[in-house]
Structure 1
Amino acid sequence: MPNRSEERVVTPGLLRDWPLPSPTGDKTSRGTVLVIGGARCTPGAVLLAGVAAMRAGAGRLQLAVAEESAVPLSISVPEAKVVGLTPDGAPSDEVLEMSAAADVIALGPGLDDVDRTTRLMTAVLGAAGRDTAVVLDAYALGALSKDAGLLRQSRAVLTPNLVEAGHLLGRDPGDDLAGAAHELAVRHDAVVSVHGHIAAPDGSAWREESGDAGLGTSGSGDVRAGIVAGLLARGAEPAQAACWAAFAHAVSGQRLAPRFGRVGFLARELVDQVASTIASV
């Protein structure tokens, strides 16, 4: 296992010295993000992740959700191409074609069945290219905890919450979240971002200290996964995308606190702060 480096604190200064790729050209130059998730009762998770990806700078957005939610979601997010999954949650041929062509796939927001998610991941990640960037969140992490071979791509970011990190580790992560992130990064050859701690497979590590209790709200993790996806689409490397996303997510919450208090804002309100937070750096 690579040696674990001391964590560097993510600050505006660190990010300014690690600038995101400058936007050039048309929307295709900022990449296509495909968000796959949204079970029958939770299509909003895909909406949050998808719009967050656009706010982070992605050029094109595609969403794949439970079939009955596709039309309402296409009206709610007119910027996106929205397609339905089959009734058993499997990807259609169209979704597999989209997976093969996407620059970034964010998989997991709003899914609610680990076996269906496993089948979905097998098909989607099998159709995607080896160099496709991947963000795994929510039930996709549960599936990965049962079969590490599901992740075939080399440019991946895992965004577990504490419960999901425990499933991936096979134990309670305890207080050493930096150590847990490092262990998972090496095990899955992916960047891992958990509760403000970011680790890369080579042992590099960072810590974002701006987050507060208000980020622990329904849908907040979907927003964070979407920010990562959007930054990957515009050309950021996985560790860079994870660090910038952790900062943008946390500081967006800080910006809302004076109006709503520390724990009164909603995940959808975080999304509206993302672009200006990134621009402020």
Structure 2
Amino acid sequence: MPNRSDEQVITPRLLREWPLPDPQGDKESRGTVLVVGGSRFTPGGVLLAGVAALRAGAGRLQLAVTGSTATALSIAVPEAKVVGLPETDRGSVSGDVPGHLLELAAEADVLAIGPGLDDVEETGRLLHRLLDAAGKEAAVVLDAYALGALSQERDLLSGRSQRVVLTPNVVEAGHLLGRDPRDDLAAEAAELAHRYECTVSLYGHIAAPDGRAWREESGDAGLGTSGSGDVRAGIVAGLLGRGADPAQSACWGAFAHAVSGQRLAPRYGRTGFLARELVDEVAYTIATV
């Protein structure tokens, strides 16, 4: 199992030698990203992930949240198509997926599922329906409660052709592993990549199912701010939308996320910046590698 010494360090030089696709033409060439999440009380997670996807280069953005928050979100993100979803009495997104969402899922190039969801059972039902509807060539980013749903049904991804990236934090990694993570997060990321047969981005450690591994060393304590994980998931989704493969998207995404925080530190200190401010640094960080 790979450990820290087996990882390539992600540097600007490594990324310059692994350039992102540079799609030509209109917004269609940079992919459609569909972000699904956002309970009645946490629609901001979808906003952060969606705008981060656009900043990372996605061409079109679609957001799906609870019906009670859809109008407000459509005003907050005028660049996106926003659709409302059924919600439970407690304000969670219902697993009873409407037909219009399945139609969007079937046409999307990338699905980012999880930001702002808050009911693991409803999320599990939602995840089944979305993965069944998604195109065979689509890419999928699973974050937050979608990872919780995956941890409860570990063969959920088995036999599916979609390219999947998992973006857990350390707590979510523990759920996926079924135990507390050990200190060697490189090995833990590699175990998850092997177990779920997908790319994993875990706290600066990226592992591909073929055994390749990377490490991002620019991250600092400020990235622990609320909503930061939604931003990271959105960056990865946007890079997938513009044509990067899962491992490249995870590596560039980890770098863009961490270095965006570095750029904010002189203004706000190491721990004073907000996730929404990270989003505004993403495009410049990627462009100046």
TM-score interval, smaller chain: over 0.9
Decide whether the 8 Å contact of 1:208 with 1:247 is kept in 2.
yes
What residue is the counterpart of 1:23 in the other structure?
Answer: 23
**Deviation at 1:3?**
6.5
Structure 1 residues 129-278: aligned runs within 5 Å: 129-151=135-157, 152-278=160-286
Deviations 1:23-56 (A, max 9, x none): 3010000000000000110000000000000000
Decide whether the 8 Å contact of 1:67 with 1:86 is kept in 2.
yes
What residue is the counterpart of 1:122 in the other structure?
Answer: 128
Decide whether the 8 Å contact of 2:2 with 2:213 is kept in 1.
no
**Deviation at 1:148?**
2.1
SS of match in other structure, 2:132: helix
* Aligned AA (1:203): G
Structure 1: 5+ residue runs without aligned partners?
none
What residue is the counterpart of 1:6 in the other structure?
Answer: 6
Decide whether the 8 Å contact of 1:154 with 1:190 is kept in 2.
no
Aligned-partner Cα distance in 1 for 2:138–2:130: 11
Deviations 1:66-98 (A, max 9, x none): 110000000000000000111242321000000
Decide whether the 8 Å contact of 1:125 with 1:150 is kept in 2.
no
SS of match in other structure, 1:206: strand
Structure 1 residues 72-87: aligned runs within 5 Å: 72-87=72-87
What residue is the counterpart of 1:113 in the other structure?
Answer: 119
Aligned-partner Cα distance in 2 for 1:50–1:278: 17
| Number of positions where the alignment pairs a residue of Structure 1 with one of Structure 2 | 280
Aligned-partner Cα distance in 1 for 2:209–2:155: 16
* Aligned AA (1:180): E
Structure 2: 5+ residue runs without aligned partners?
89-93
Aligned-partner Cα distance in 2 for 1:177–1:227: 21
Aligned-partner Cα distance in 2 for 1:54–1:142: 26
Give TM-score scaled by structure 2 length. Answer: 0.95
Decide whether the 8 Å contact of 2:58 with 2:241 is kept in 1.
yes
Aligned-partner Cα distance in 2 for 1:214–1:87: 33
**Deviation at 1:150?**
2.4
1:94 to 100, 109, 113: 100
Greater alpha carbon shift after TM alignment, 201-210 vs 142-151: 142-151
* Aligned AA (2:211): G
Aligned-partner Cα distance in 1 for 2:212–2:87: 42
Give TM-score scaled by structure 1 length. Answer: 0.98
Aligned-partner Cα distance in 2 for 1:219–1:3: 30
Aligned-partner Cα distance in 1 for 2:35–2:41: 17
SS of match in other structure, 1:148: coil
* Aligned AA (2:235): I
* Aligned AA (2:8): R
What residue is the counterpart of 1:52 in the other structure?
Answer: 52
* Aligned AA (2:25): G
Decide whether the 8 Å contact of 2:10 with 2:216 is kept in 1.
yes
Percent identity, aligned pairs only? Answer: 72
SS of match in other structure, 1:150: coil
What residue is the counterpart of 2:40 in the other structure?
Answer: 40
**CA RMSD between the two structures:** 1.1
Aligned-partner Cα distance in 2 for 1:148–1:166: 13
Deviations 1:156-183 (A, max 9, x none): 1000000000000001112010000000
Aligned-partner Cα distance in 1 for 2:156–2:104: 19
Decide whether the 8 Å contact of 2:167 with 2:233 is kept in 1.
yes
Decide whether the 8 Å contact of 1:154 with 1:189 is kept in 2.
no
* Aligned AA (1:105): L
